[in-house]
Amino acid sequence: MSETDGRLFHRAAELGSAFDRSFAVSTRQDPPVMESLLAIHMGKDACLLRLAETVGLFMDKKITPVPSRVATLLGIAGFRGTTLPVYDLHAFLGQTTTEPPRWLVIAAAAPIALAFQKLDGHLQVPPKDVLSREESQQKRQYVHDFAYVQGLVRPIVHLPSILDAIRQQQTEATRDKER
């Protein structure tokens, strides 16, 4: 074997090894994790809900009023064989509306539905576009984060804090009833 043949043999072996290694190393990259949000409107205010904090979204459900000392309780509605209380999301965010809410979202953390007026759609936002309330310098009750969406900053409604407020309202209503 000549010196040229030896170099070609080694080069071919190196290329073969590199080719084999390329299949052993994963080059697939996972897509970036995105924040899934529901874009909603309540009156003139545009807000967001985290999809992970919900388990269902319904349109045009009949809400049956029930007597209650809780002002935010709109009534009850049926969902797949289950009756759930429906609370007015507008009221928690300081909104008033004369129109009946068209949309209901069921909270993931409790068997409670929250009503709102308009659904704008589903959004995927990169984590870098989500700001905490401290970073944004804006203070709003029931809003812990904000997101940049189409060049605008929209508040993300924190459903767990609204559920806490509902529990507090129920406790206070029970105490008032017992007096």
DSSP letters of 3-41? HHHHHHHHHHHHHHHHHHHHHHS----PPPP-EEEEEEE
How many Å is the maximal CA-CA distance in the chain? 106
117-166: per-residue pLDDT in tens?
999 999 999 999 998 866 544 556 788 899 998 888 999 999 999 999 99
Helices (DSSP H) in the chain: which residue ranges?
Answer: 3-24, 89-92, 133-136, 159-178
Full-model pTM: 0.77
Q: Which class is domain 35-178? A: mainly beta
